[in-house]
Structure 1
Amino acid sequence: MIQDHPPAVSGLSRTLAIFSKLPLRLLQWLARLVATLMITMPSAKALKTVSRNLQIVFPELEPEQRHQLAKKSVQAQFQSMLEFVKIWGSPPQFSIGHIHQVQGQQLLLDAIASKQGLILVVPHLGSWEIMNAWLNQFTDIVIMYKPSQNQALDQFVLTARSRLRATLVPTDESGVRQIFRALKQGGVTAILPDHTPETTGGIYSPFFGCPVLTSTLVSRLAQKTRCHVLQLSCIRLPEQGGFSIVIEPVDRDISSPDLQQSVNALNHSIEQLIRRHPEHYHWSYKRFKANPQLENIYYVPENQVAPAIASARQAFINKD
C-alpha cells in the first residue's frame, strides 16, 4: 500500500495538532522551560548567536547585562515559536480574543479608508503571527509566502492561512508585481523587512550603527505607489496572558525619492522599536555576516568584534 505522506510527516502533523490544542499559558511555560534547559548547555548555538548579536548592537552594556538579556531573548523566541503553533492550529477568534491592548488603531483605519494603499512593516519581534486574524477584521491582506521545506509544517501553516482573508503570493518577481497591483488599487500588504535579501534586492544601510544588507522592497514599493507605510508590533503581556499591538508611523523619510535615505529610514524605525523591546527581538538570525567584512563575525574572539564593526562602519562611510 502506498502512503500519501511519509511516517515522519504524519508524525509531525499529529504533534503540531496536539500542541495546538494545549492551553496558551502551558505552551509558554513549556517554551521557557525548554529554553532554560538549552541555555545551560555549553554548546548552545542559539545562545551564542544571540549573545554575539547583542555584543554588536549593544556594546555599551556590561557582559553580565548582555548575558541576562540573551537568556531572556532565547526564552522569548521559544515562546513565540510555540505561540505560532497555537495560533496556526486555532480558529481566528482565538487570536482576536487574546489581543488585550491596541495602540494606534485609528492610524490603521484611516490608512485603509484612504484607498491609497498601505504597507504594514512587521519586524521579527514578539508574536507577529497573532496579528493576522486581528488585521483581517478590517481588510484583506496580500502576504508573501515561501513554502517550508518541511511538508507537514507547510500544510499546517497553509491550513491556518486559508481561514483568513489573505492572498498568498510567492517570494519572487511575480509576487512583487501582485503586491504592486494591490497597492495601486488601494490594497494592503504586510512585509517582514528585516531579513537578508539577495544582493540584487538590497543595499547596505546602518542598523545599530553597523552597515547591513537591507531589502529595498518596502522602499521601492512606497516610492512607486506613494502609499501609506505603518509599522506593527505585537508584544505578549505576561500578567494578562494576552498580547498588545502597537501601530505607528515609519520614519517619514521612507517616502524619500532617494533610495538610500528611504532604506535608512526603514532601519531606523525598526531599530527604535527594538530598543524599546530588545528581549522580544529574534536575535538568533546571523544577519551581520552578509557584510563581506563581517563574514566571520560570529566566530572571532570577543575582543575582535568592536574593531571589525568599526572597520565595516568606516568602509561604509568612505563609500559615500
Structure 2
Amino acid sequence: MERISLALIVALLRTLSVLPYKFVARLGMVVGTALYALPSRRKHIVLVNLRLCFPEKSSHELDTLAREHFRHVVRSYLERGVQWFGSARSIQNIVQIESKIDLDDRDAPPTIFMGFHFVGIEVGCMLYSTQFPVASLYTRMSNAGMCDVAKRQRGRFGAQMIERATSARKIVGLLRSGTPVMLAADMDQGVENSVFVPFFGVPACTLTAVSRLARLGQARVVPFVTEVLPNYEGYKLTIFEPLLDFPSGNDEVDARRMNTFLEEQVAKFPEQYYWVHRRFKHRPPGMASVY
C-alpha cells in the first residue's frame, strides 16, 4: 500500500510539473482554503504557534493569518512538482535572485548559507543548485520511499545531499574544500546541541549547529530567504551580507542573533513562515507543553 501511495504522489507531482505554473499556484491556494475549513492537527498547531508569537492580534486576525498560511503551505506542496521534476530552465523562470555577495567569487571564504523554513525555501535552494556548486543538509523523513525520492530530485542538478546526522567532520571538509553548505537551523530538533532562546518572546529550542560548524570550518555565515511574490509572479531568493562577528564564541548569543534575524524576516511576510511545524515542541524545565 505504501508503494502504491508513493507511486501516486510521484505521478501527481510529475503531472503538475508540466502544467502552467500560475495554474498550479492558484490550484494550491484553492485547495488550501478548502482544507483550512476542516478540523486538523496541523491547523491546531498553526493557531497555537500564532497565538504564542502574536499575542497582540485578535482571534479574527489570527484566523485570517492562519488561513492565508494554509493556502501558501498547500500551494508549496503542489509546486513541488516543478521543483522536483521540472527542468532547470522552468525553475529559473519563476525565481528571481538578489545577492548582496558575489556568488561568482572564486576566492570566497568557506561559506555556510543559513536558510529558514519559509514556504519558498525549497525552490530557492533548487534555483541556487542550478547555477552554483553546493552541498545541502537534509533531515531524513519517516517515509523512507518519499525521503529517497526527495533526496534524489533535490540533488539532480548537482547539489550534494548530506543527511543532518552526518558527522561534522564531513561537513567541515566540504567547507574547507570550497563547497558552500546550505542548512536551516530554525526548527526544534530536540534539546541536544540546542539552547532555549526567545523567538517572538517565547523560549524556543534552537540548534547551535550553525555556530559550531562555522567555528570548525572557519566559515562565514550568509543568511538567505526565499519569498513568494504577489500576483503569482514566482519567487525571490535574497542572499544577505554575512553576519558580522559570527560565530561570537557564545552559542547562546549566536542563537539569539539567528532568531532576531528570523523575526525581522517573518515580520515582512508572516503568512509564509512554516507555522505548521511544532516550533515549541520542547519546553524549558517546568514549562508545560503548548500543543
TM-score, normalised relative to structure 2: 0.90
Q: Is the 8 A contact 2:32 2:74 kept in 1?
A: yes
Please say if 1:233 is aligned against 2:225: yes
Query: Deviations 1:246-282 (Å, cap 9, x if unpaired)?
Result: 1113653532011111111111111111111101101
Q: Partner of 1:123 in structure 2?
A: 116
**Conserved? CA contact 2:110–2:178, under 8 Å:** yes
Q: Deviations over 1:155-201 (max 9, x none)?
A: 43234234212111222143x32211111233200001111123222
Contact 2:222 2:239 in 1 (8 A): yes
> Any residues of structure 2 matched to 1:4-83 within 5 Å, and which?
6-41=3-38, 43-83=39-79
The percent identity for this pair of structures is 22
Cα distance in 1, alignment partners of residues 146 and 17 from structure 2: 12
SS at 2:157 equivalent = coil
Deviates more, 1:288-297 or 1:192-201: 288-297
Q: Which runs of 5+ in 1 are unaligned?
A: 299-320
Structure with a larger share of its residues in helix: 1
Code of the aligned partner of 1:109? L
Alignment of 1:196 onto 2:193:
no
2:271 matched to which residue of 1?
A: 279
Deviates more, 1:139-148 or 1:48-57: 139-148
Aligned pairs for 1:87-98 (under 5 A) are 87-98=83-94
Quote the RMSD (CA, aligned, Å). 2.3
- The yes-or-no answer on 1:143 pairing with 2:140 is no
Tell me: CA distance 1:231–1:39, structure 2 relative to 1, closer, same or farther (3 Å).
same
Instruction: State how 1:205-220 maps to structure 2 within 5 Å.
Output: 205-220=197-212
Residues 136 and 183, structure 2, Cα contact 8 Å, conserved in 1: yes
Counterpart residue type for residue 150 of structure 2: V
TM-score, reference length from structure 1: 0.82
Pair 1:164-2:157 in alignment: yes
Counterpart-to-counterpart distance in 2, 1:47 and 1:251: 34
1:284 and 1:250 map into 2 onto residues whose CA distance is 29
> Matches of 2:111 and 2:216 in 1, distance apart?
12
Of the structure 1 ranges 260-269 and 153-162, higher mean CA displacement relative to structure 2 is found in 153-162
CA distance in 1, matches of 2:259, 2:159: 26
Q: Which protein shows a greater Rg?
A: 1
CA contact (8 A) 1:95 1:131 kept: no
Specify whether residues 113 and 24 from structure 1 end up closer, same or farther in structure 2 by C-alpha distance, changes over 3 A only.
same
User: Please, which of 79, 103, 111 is the counterpart of residue 109 of structure 1?
Assistant: 103
Amino acid at match of 2:26: W
SS of residue matched to 1:95: helix
Structure 2: segments with no counterpart, 5+ residues: none
The DSSP-based 3-state class of the residue aligned with 1:239 is: helix
Between 246-255 and 187-196, report the one with greater CA deviation: 246-255
What is the alpha-carbon distance in structure 2 between the residues aligned to residue 44 and residue 68 of structure 1?
16
